[in-house]
Amino acid sequence: MRVLVTSCPATSHFYPLVPFALALRRAGHRVLVATGGGFAARAAATGLDVFPVGGDVDLMSVAPPRPRPGAAPDQAGWGRMLALAERTAPDLVRLARDWRPDLLVRTPTEFAGPIVAEQLGIPVIEHSFGLPMPRERLRAADELLEPLYRRFGVRPRLCDPAWVLDVCPPSFRPAGVIAGTAMRYVPFHGPEPSGPGRLEDVDLCLTLGTILPALGHTAVVAPVVEAAADLGLRTLVLGAATPDSPGVTSARWLPLGEVLPRCRVLAHHAGSGTTFAALAAGVPQLAMPHMTDQPDNAARIEATGVGRQLAPERIDREQARTALAALVAEGPERAAARALSAEIGAQPSPDEVVASIGSLTATPPPGQAPA
């Protein structure tokens, strides 16, 4: 079977679906990734076949349009994704007509892929990368996408995938949210090795991901690093420029999969990839959410007891010190984090889900309500 994978051109969107794409290939399916040309080299470094679309575009290079006057908040947040769909759709349609995929696998915020699925009449698998995407948010995107989709002779149907692969463990899912087909979250942080030498064990790892430092949102680093120093914690800072000092080291990038087993607490921006990597590793978390889905992730971190959250606009050294002192101890947050890690490990693996690929492209099983 030919499987076309479409993703927003950003690591935080693409990396979570790489384990499933590799599982498809191990099962003998032909897998082709279509993503923005500015991200294509990084996507190809995973070993998957990649076709660049939309020219030299990635998530940060495209300028979102201004929200329409009076637009609902759910619509106003889709501007950048809509602009990406506008750029990538023509190339993606031409590719699909030539390659003729049998199945489309897409991330919830990639909006050009459904055009191809509607034109070819092929089923769609929506692969989550964190908390389930609320259907009302996708309905708001449907309305915004109607002019684009009309140009290609189709109607937007983001709320009607054949299947939703849900990597969110049940106890982390908000109450009342319809579950998709359960699949284990398998952290993937890129093929690059960490470099020579062994990573040192640390008490605290601090990261703000890739997007926030690029936007200059790094004000939370100083109070957290200072609080860690007050507590005598060995600290590793990733991605944000920090002068090395006694007990503090920094690195531009290291794979979290190598870092998390060697740290006691992870302080971060509550991005989905970082949040779920820490959940899988069973590491307590200090969440400092800034935008998009980060407040939702931070709320679940606190509600499930696997960590705490601090508002980045109000965080100070004393607040950070109090939170870190609790999280670094052998307290309830560590026990809760270990329990949730075990829950993730009990979910079906990507290979097990791929084994049922025939039913994945047919009718949803009993218990999964239509979106």
Q: What is the per-residue pLDDT across 267-282, written as a single tens digit (0 to 9) for each?
A: 999 999 999 999 999 9
What is the spatial order of strands in the sheet that 263-268 belongs to?
Answer: 248-251, 235-238, 202-207, 263-268, 285-287, 307-309
Lowest mean pLDDT among 116-125, 301-310, 340-349, 354-363: 354-363
**With contact defined as beta carbons under 8 Å apart, do 87 and 55 qualify?**
yes
Report the pLDDT averaged over residues 172-199: 78
**Distance between CA atoms of residues 332 and 325, nearest Å:** 13
Nearest to 95 by CA among 1, 23, 5: 5
pLDDT at res. 360? 54
Alpha carbon 33 to chain centroid distance?
Answer: 17
**Distance between CA atoms of residues 207 and 290, nearest Å:** 13
The CATH superfamily holding the domain 202-346 is Glycogen Phosphorylase B; (3.40.50.2000)
**With contact defined as beta carbons under 8 Å apart, do 27 and 354 qualify?**
yes
Residue 211 has pLDDT above 70, yes or no: yes
Report the pLDDT averaged over residues 294-318: 94
Residue of higher predicted confidence among 287 and 174: 287
pLDDT at res. 339? 98
SS3 content of the chain, % helix, strand, coil (to 5): 40, 15, 45
Tokens of 259: 């870092």
The DSSP code sequence of 257-289 is HHHGGGEEEEEE---HHHHHHHHHHT--EEE--
**H/E stretch holding 213:** helix 211-215
**What's the CA angle centered on 65, arms 37 and 85, to 5 degrees?**
40
Banded pLDDT at 369 (limits 50, 70, 90): very low
**Distance between CA atoms of residues 269 and 239, nearest Å:** 12
Strand-pairing partners, residue 205, are: 236, 266
**Distance between CA atoms of residues 359 and 133, nearest Å:** 22
pLDDT at res. 59? 65
The CATH superfamily holding the domain 2-185+347-359 is Glycogen Phosphorylase B; (3.40.50.2000)
pLDDT at res. 313? 87
Nearest to 273 by CA among 112, 128, 92: 128
Residue of higher predicted confidence among 178 and 351: 351
Residue of higher predicted confidence among 75 and 340: 340
Collapsed DSSP state (helix, strand, coil) of residue 118: helix
CATH 3.40.50.2000 placement within the chain? 2-185+347-359, 202-346
Work out the mean pLDDT of the chain and round it to a whole number.
Answer: 86
Residue 371 has pLDDT above 60, yes or no: no
pLDDT at res. 78? 73
Residue 292 has pLDDT above 90, yes or no: no
Report the pLDDT averaged over residues 112-124: 94
pLDDT at res. 160? 73
pLDDT at res. 96? 96
**With contact defined as beta carbons under 8 Å apart, do 266 and 324 qualify?**
no
**H/E stretch holding 243:** none
Banded pLDDT at 60 (limits 50, 70, 90): low
Residue 241 has pLDDT above 80, yes or no: no
